Amino acid sequence: MNIKNILLIEDDLRDVEMTLAALEEQNLANRVFVVHDGAAALDYLYKRGAFKARTTGNPILVLLDNKMPKVSGLEVLKIMKEDERLKTIPVVALTSSREAPDLIQFYSHGVNAYVVKPVDFSDFMKAVREVGIFWAAVNEPPLAACEVEPGIQDGEAIIAGKKEV
Amino acid sequence: MAETSGESLARDESNIEQNKDSQTTRNGLLIAQIVSRTEQAETRTEQAETRTEQAKTRTEQAETRLEQAETRTELAETRTEQAETRTERAETRTEQAEARMERSEEAIRESELNYRRLFEAARDGILILDADTGRVTDVNPFLVNLLGYPENEIVGKTVGELSPFKDLVSNQTMWERLQRDGYARYENQPLETRDGRAIVVEFVSNVYRAGEKKAIQCNIRDLTERRRSEARLNASFREIGVLKSALDEHLDSIRLAAIVESSQDAIIGKDLEGVVTSWNKSAEKIFGYTAAEMKGTSLMRLIPSEFRGEEVQILAKVKRGEKIEHYDTVRLTKDGRRIDISVTLSPIKDIAGNVVGVSKIARDITELKAAEKLRELNIGLEQSVAERTEQLQAVNQELEAFSYSVSHDLRAPLRHLVGFVAMLHQDAGPTLSEKSLRYLETISQSARRMGKLIDDLLAFSRTGRAGVKKSEVNLDLLIPEIVADLSGDISGRKINWIIHPLPVLWADRALLRQVLINLISNSVKFTGGRTEATIEIGPIPGGDNENVTFIRDNGAGFDPRYAGKLFGVFQRLHSETEFEGTGIGLANVERIIKRHGGRVWAEGAVDVGATFFFSIPKHEGAIINGG
């Protein structure tokens, strides 16, 4: 069986570092795979481009920032939740915004949880730790359904469309 | 007859007895004779019996016939009686008929008498003519009197021969019509009487049958007096007609004058020199001058100097006979006001068509003009409101985008600042001096404070944009909830809560909650220095249209001189070291209350405490839209 990976999609390296520091405390950090924008995240999920050779299975959890270059977190979420093979992967939005329209959009596209990054460090650490513990240890994801064969085109087609806009 | 044969038979038998011995020889013969006679006797007996029966039958028949004869006799008698009765009745009827005939003859005699009386007494002239000869057979006294000719000069002549009738329209024609139709009528026939009077008559002739003879009755009615009356009546009617039209004319002028007087417009007459000749009530009302003041004076005093040139030009046109309709100009009233009027000028012409004056109808349109201006102003206002609204919407959208950026982009660096200071502290804490550690703590505190500022500002911005969704909010339930939520901040402190029964408010629940959290947590914060803090929440009685709620504390209070600054954004009356705060909470409170159409204010004194009041309009007449 594959290692239970966590995919962290976060463009801000400082947030990455802080998030990893928080997950480190739970010994989860070594299982985190980080990509820095939505496009790379989709490449990873669909095993294409730089991730064509990915041998590990699909993540058991996706931690998703919203405001990112190229493809936003919300767009990644939409693609995942519309794809039968990816929609069962739990996605937790981990963002700076607590604006109501963002929350409504994420939830209406099927996000599994929405966590606002607290400014206070200890609050931040606590929040990320709890997310890690719950989703990586407590929660039981449907692993068998998470595998995706390489070379799937539909995700890429949608991204190409987005780029043109 | 039967008795006779029986006696002879008995005698024969006794003879036989006496001679039997002696005459035995002859006995045989005798016996035979006896038998024969016996048989004969029997035959005769039978015949006698038959005759007897026949006689009986005839007797019966005779009796029957007798009865019938008697019956017929009775019937005949009855018929005779009836015939007698009928004869009597016929005689009675004959008598009655004779009586009636007598009466009838009497009636005829009476009728003839009556007719004669009528004929004699009639108020119409009557001629009776023989229908065959056409000659007068009778004339009544009235006609004799009317014509003035004696009866004997009339009777025996034809109508044509009578000098008064000699002009009667075609005697011949009348005669023909009478023969054909049995009737002729001529109206308005002029006649001349014996004494030369000219009269007018109606001449009606009828043919009628008197027994075997035909006669003609001519009725001559004198219409002279009637015709004269009619002529007099017609003259009167004509006279009345003339009078009536004169009266109508007079009434018209009265009505016209009344219309002029009651008109809402000023109606003014003036001569060609501009001197007023008439001045109605509305003119008095509009210009302030009475008719007495104006009549005989010049109109010029009503005209502002800058309009006099225009007046001269217009008058020149009217003098040429033109009509000027609805030109707007300005006039002066007696009390010196300038009024807008709309004027129609018409020339007044004499019978020859010469212009002798000017009639002027003036309407005060000052209010109309004002209304027009107001309408224009309103349209302008509506346009600018629409433009402003559009601008405001654009600004709001920008603000939303801005808030979003602030929310996301400004918070991230702060988070990193705090985060990395904390990690530095973890990593290098043991090696750092006290001083360095304090520096790190200050950096962290400042960043956290900035984070709080950003959050509060965003909340403040959101209250400005969010819609106000009103419903009934029960303060008796809401306030204990909020106090319970604040329990974390007040642990270890002694606070005396006095919460009075509170009203149900018509407000946006979420926004009102923010108001109460702000005010109550302020009280909690500013009573921080009191060993015995008292926070009192209750309603202020009165106020028909609004509910006023107060929150009072015995905390640090404030200098009432600066009360006006309490609700400004970033305005603080205490230093950060005394009491933490961003200076946004009360600004937010004021904004929310104002958006409910209410007011917020505060009373206080330094070191005594503060009381904050806010009002929310009641449901009826509440201002629903936000500010």
**All residues at 6 or more sequence positions from B28 whose CB lies less than 8 Å from its CB, including other chains:** none
Q: Which residues in chain B are contacts of A13 at CB distance < 8 A?
A: none
**Confidence (pLDDT) at B147:** 85
**Of B193 and B489, the one with more pLDDT:** B193
pLDDT single digits (tens) A3-18: 668 899 998 888 898 8
* Same structural domain, B600 and B484: yes
Q: How many CB pairs under 8 A join A and B?
A: 57
**Of A147 and B593, the one with more pLDDT:** B593
CB contact under 8 A, B407 and A97: yes
**All residues at 6 or more sequence positions from A7 whose CB lies less than 8 Å from its CB, including other chains:** A32, A33, A35, A41, A44, A45, A59, A61, A62, A63
Count the Cβ atoms, other than its own, within 10 Å of residue B582: 20
CB contact under 8 A, A96 and B415: yes
Across the range B325-349, mean pLDDT stands at 88
pLDDT single digits (tens) B492-511: 888 888 999 988 888 888 88
Tell me which residue in B415, B420, B423 faces A119 most closely, judged by beta carbons. B415
For B248, counting Cβ atoms within 10 Å of its Cβ (0-12 exposed, 13-18 middle, 19+ buried), the class is exposed
Domain count, chain B: 5
A3 HSE (CA, 13 A, CB side): 12
Q: Which of A129, A57, A107 is CA-nearest to residue A86?
A: A57
Q: Say which residue the tokens 């003519």 belong to.
A: B129
pLDDT single digits (tens) B249-266: 888 888 888 888 888 888
Please give the structure tokens belonging to residue B131: 């229908």
Count the Cβ atoms, other than its own, within 10 Å of residue B364: 20
3-state secondary structure B73-100: HHHHHHHHHHHHHHHHHHHHHHHHHHHH
Residue B516 lies in a domain: yes
Domain with A96 in it: what CATH number? Answer: 3.40.50.2300
Across the range B352-375, mean pLDDT stands at 87
pLDDT single digits (tens) B88-102: 999 999 999 999 999
CB contact under 8 A, A119 and B447: yes
Residue of B nearest to A101 (CA): B404
Residue B625 lies in a domain: no
Q: Which of B589, B593, B582 is CA-nearest to residue B610?
A: B589
**Of B253 and B166, the one with more pLDDT:** B253
* pLDDT at residue B25 is higher than 80: no
Domain ranges, residue B547? 469-617
Domain count, chain A: 1
**Confidence (pLDDT) at B551:** 92
Q: Which residues in chain B are contacts of A121 at CB distance < 8 A?
A: 415, 418-419, 421-423, 444
How many Å lie between the alpha carbon of B602 and the closest alpha carbon of chain A? Answer: 32
* Same structural domain, B165 and B25: no
Across the range B156-166, mean pLDDT stands at 79
Q: How confident is the model at residue A154 (pLDDT cuts 50, 70, 90)?
A: very low
Tell me which residue in B408, B411, B418 faces A121 most closely, judged by beta carbons. B418
3-state secondary structure B96-145: HHHHHHHHHHHHHHHHHHHHHHHHHHCCCEEEEEECCCCEEEEECHHHHH
pLDDT above 90 covers a percentage of chain B that reads 15
Q: How confident is the model at residue A127 (pLDDT cuts 50, 70, 90)?
A: confident
* Same structural domain, B346 and B392: no
3-state secondary structure of B627: coil
CB contact under 8 A, B412 and A12: yes
Q: How confident is the model at residue B536 (pLDDT cuts 50, 70, 90)?
A: very high
Residue B242 lies in a domain: no
Q: State whether residue B407 sits within 8 Å of chain A by CB.
A: yes
* pLDDT at residue A48 is higher than 90: no
* Same structural domain, B92 and B55: yes
Q: Among B434, B465, B496, where does a domain finish?
A: B465
Residue of A nearest to B450 (CA): A119
Is the model's pTM score more than 0.80?
no
What's the CA gap between B350 and B139, in Å, rounded? Answer: 70
Angstrom distances, CA of residue A40 to CA of A150, A163, B436, B575, B587: 15, 13, 41, 50, 45
Residue A78 lies in a domain: yes
3-state secondary structure of A103: helix
Q: Which residues in chain A are contacts of B448 at CB distance < 8 A?
A: 119-120
Q: Do β-strands B495-499 and B533-540 pair in parallel, antiparallel, or remain unpaired?
A: parallel
**Of B2 and A73, the one with more pLDDT:** A73
Q: Among B333, B364, B395, where does a domain finish?
A: B364
Q: State whether residue B219 sits within 8 Å of chain A by CB.
A: no
Angstrom distances, CA of residue B551 to CA of B79, B267, B594: 145, 71, 18
**Confidence (pLDDT) at B573:** 67
Contact present, B355 and B319 (Cβ < 8 Å)? yes
Across the range B38-63, mean pLDDT stands at 91
What's the CA gap between B544 and A119, in Å, rounded? Answer: 47
* pLDDT at residue A125 is higher than 90: no
Q: Which residues in chain B are contacts of A118 at CB distance < 8 A?
A: 415
For residue B193, what is the DSSP state? -
Across the range A86-95, mean pLDDT stands at 88
Across the range B465-491, mean pLDDT stands at 84
CB contact under 8 A, B448 and A67: no
CB contact under 8 A, A96 and B407: yes
Interface probe, candidates A94, A116, A121, chain B, greatest B C-beta count within 10 A: A121
How many Å lie between the alpha carbon of A18 and the closest alpha carbon of chain B? Answer: 7
Domain ranges, residue A17? 6-164
Query: Which alpha helices (H) appear in B182-280, and where do they start and end?
Result: 224-262
**Confidence (pLDDT) at A164:** 34
Query: Which alpha helices (H) appear in B185-327, and where do they start and end?
Result: 224-262, 281-287, 291-294, 308-319
Strands (E), B275-379: 276-279, 324-332, 338-349, 355-364
Residue A1 lies in a domain: no
DSSP state letters, B426-485:
HHHGGGS-HHHHHHHHHHHHHHHHHHHHHHHHHHHHHHHHS---EEEEEHHHHHHHHHHH
Q: Which of B241, B230, B127, B107 is CA-nearest to residue B174?
A: B127
Q: State whether residue B463 sits within 8 Å of chain A by CB.
A: no
Residue B413 lies in a domain: yes
Q: Which residues in chain B are contacts of A122 at CB distance < 8 A?
A: 422
**Confidence (pLDDT) at B17:** 62
Q: How confident is the model at residue B575 (pLDDT cuts 50, 70, 90)?
A: low
pLDDT single digits (tens) B404-454: 776 677 788 888 888 888 888 888 888 989 888 888 888 888 888 888 888
pLDDT single digits (tens) B268-310: 988 888 889 889 888 999 999 998 999 888 888 888 988 888 8
What is the ipTM for the molecules in this complex?
0.72
Residue B229 lies in a domain: no
What are the residues of chain A with a beta carbon less than 8 Å away from any beta carbon of chain B?
A: 12, 14-15, 18, 21, 66-67, 95-99, 117-122, 124
* Same structural domain, B322 and B347: yes
Please give the structure tokens belonging to residue B495: 């606070």
CB contact under 8 A, B403 and A99: yes
Residue B65 lies in a domain: yes
* Same structural domain, B173 and B308: no
Angstrom distances, CA of residue B35 to CA of B14, B29, B30, B585: 15, 10, 8, 192
How many Å lie between the alpha carbon of A91 and the closest alpha carbon of chain B? Answer: 20
* pLDDT at residue A152 is higher than 80: no
- The dihedrals phi and psi of B184, each to the nearest 5 degrees, come to -150, 140
* Sheet (strand A91-95) strand order: A32-35, A6-9, A61-64, A91-95, A113-116
How many Å lie between the alpha carbon of B447 and the closest alpha carbon of chain A? Answer: 8
Contact present, A148 and A46 (Cβ < 8 Å)? yes
What's the CA gap between B268 and B285, in Å, rounded? Answer: 13
Domain with B321 in it: what CATH number? Answer: 3.30.450.20
Q: Among B364, B398, B429, where does a domain finish?
A: B364
* Same structural domain, B434 and B553: no
**Confidence (pLDDT) at B357:** 85
**CA Rg, chain B, in Å?**
75
B414 HSE (CA, 13 A, CB side): 22
pLDDT single digits (tens) B63-87: 999 999 999 999 999 999 999 999 9
Listed range (A139-148, B157-166, B614-623) with the worst mean pLDDT: A139-148
Tell me which residue in A66, A119, A121 faces B411 most closely, judged by beta carbons. A119
* Same structural domain, B395 and B460: yes
CB contact under 8 A, A96 and B411: yes
Residue of B nearest to A13 (CA): B416
Residue B246 lies in a domain: no
What's the CA gap between A120 and B621, in Å, rounded? Answer: 46
What's the CA gap between B116 and B114, in Å, rounded? Answer: 5
Domain with B562 in it: what CATH number? Answer: 3.30.565.10
Residue A124 lies in a domain: yes
Residue B255 lies in a domain: no
pLDDT above 70 covers a percentage of chain B that reads 91
* pLDDT at residue B1 is higher than 60: no
Interface probe, candidates B415, B421, B456, chain A, greatest A C-beta count within 10 A: B415
Residue A90 lies in a domain: yes
